[in-house]
């Protein structure tokens, strides 16, 4: 059932991708802000309690609805899995954004590309050059593919007896780690550590997927030697492997608010161009196909045995 839930959710998200605004994420963002205001006293324990209040109830709700529906009919439980996976995935959502940036760059519309990238990832992109836009768009695409697809699918499959609870747990932890990263004092530390624990295995599976879908030797070399230099080493694992698999160089300096901001170099080979954004999306598609093929083989092996 897990394989067919994933297949149906991916197909649905491809046919009818999520678009801004996303009401369920907006509501959850409001909840996280409310909890932070009420519990942020700058202490580690406050952050742990707040994380539990923000993450565990939605995970429990996802499981409880599944248990009730599955008790009535396995088909209803399966439909709930598909619906929640559809709401937590975002492959077409971010790949479409990346492809828009690439199209704008190809026609020379730098202002449009800056606006598109800034709206997508947040932050100031007004000073980005064309090269900056390409590199950051590819980095954003690779990171988003992990946080909004591969990591979600890993935890869904791992905790499939609990319905979609694993997918909800990973997305909630991902959101909280980002939203509370700059919170006062030690409040956000627990959220960072919780996501690190949940993300360690999926990040490396995503990196391995990129290596298989591209240049395996360069991907694993960049993964081993460069990931720890990135500000977020776990994200660095994914981006370094992806850059190595594609044979391109990411990271490096970008212009923010009129100043050049240094970032470590990831990958190897040539500087990317706008077409490389589409190539990154294609590599992620190949990676998804690899995961689906592996899942299908497991299903067939179960039928045969």
Distance, CA of 283 to CA of 75 (rounded, Å): 33
**Distances from the Cα of 61 to the Cαs of 56, 167, 225, 280, in angstroms?**
8, 12, 41, 35
DSSP tally for the chain: helices H, then strands E: 13, 4
Nearest to 98 by CA among 288, 267, 278: 278
**Contact predicate 260/129, CB 8 Å:** no
Nearest to 284 by CA among 152, 94, 118: 94
Classify 39 as helix, strand or coil. Answer: helix
Structural domains of the chain, count:
1
Structural domain range at position 9: 2-304
State which H helix or E strand residue 249 sits in: strand 249-251
Q: Looking up tokens 């990411």, which residue turns up?
A: 250
Question: What is this structure's pTM?
Answer: 0.92
Nearest to 82 by CA among 188, 143, 182, 6: 6
Write phi, then psi, for 40 (nearest 5 degrees): -80, 95
Number of Cβ within 10 Å of residue 122's Cβ equals: 10
Give the sign of the dihedral formed by CA 285, CA 287, CA 291, CA 293: positive
Per-residue pLDDT of the chain (305 residues; tens, 9 = 90+): 788 899 999 889 888 887 766 788 889 989 999 999 988 888 899 999 999 999 999 999 999 999 999 999 999 999 999 999 999 988 787 888 889 999 999 998 889 998 888 888 877 788 888 899 999 999 999 999 999 999 999 999 999 999 999 999 999 999 999 999 888 778 989 999 999 999 999 999 999 999 999 999 999 999 999 999 998 999 999 999 999 999 999 988 887 766 677 889 999 988 999 999 999 999 999 999 999 998 888 888 878 86
């Amino acid at each position: 059932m897990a394989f067919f839930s994933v297949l149906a959710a991916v197909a649905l998200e491809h046919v009818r991708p999520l678009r801004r605004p996303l009401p369920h994420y907006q509501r959850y963002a409001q909840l996280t802000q409310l909890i932070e205001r009420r519990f942020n006293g700058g202490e580690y324990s406050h952050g742990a309690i707040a994380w539990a209040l923000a993450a565990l109830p939605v995970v429990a709700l996802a499981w409880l609805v599944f248990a009730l529906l599955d008790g009535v009919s396995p088909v209803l439980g399966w439909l709930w899995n598909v619906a929640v996976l559809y709401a937590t995935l975002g492959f077409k959502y971010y790949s479409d954004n990346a492809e828009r940036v690439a199209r704008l760059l190809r026609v020379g519309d730098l202002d449009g590309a800056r606006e598109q990238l800034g709206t997508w990832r947040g932050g100031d992109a007004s000073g980005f050059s064309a090269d900056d836009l390409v590199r950051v768009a590819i980095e954003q695409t690779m990171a988003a593919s992990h946080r909004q697809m591969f990591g979600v699918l890993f935890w869904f499959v791992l905790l499939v007896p609990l319905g979609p609870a694993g997918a909800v747990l990973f997305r909630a932890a991902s959101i909280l780690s980002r939203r509370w990263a700059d919170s006062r004092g030690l409040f956000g530390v627990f959220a960072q550590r919780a996501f690190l624990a949940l993300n360690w295995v999926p990040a490396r599976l995503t990196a391995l997927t990129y290596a298989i879908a591209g240049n395996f030797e360069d991907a694993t070399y960049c993964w081993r030697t460069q990931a720890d230099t990135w500000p977020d080493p776990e994200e660095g694992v994914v981006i370094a492997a992806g850059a190595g698999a594609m044979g391109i160089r990411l990271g490096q300096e970008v212009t923010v608010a009129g100043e050049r901001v240094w970032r470590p170099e990831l990958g190897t080979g040539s500087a990317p161009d706008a077409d490389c954004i589409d190539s990154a999306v294609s590599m992620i598609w190949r990676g998804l196909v690899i995961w689906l093929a592996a899942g299908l083989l497991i299903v067939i092996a179960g039928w045969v045995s």
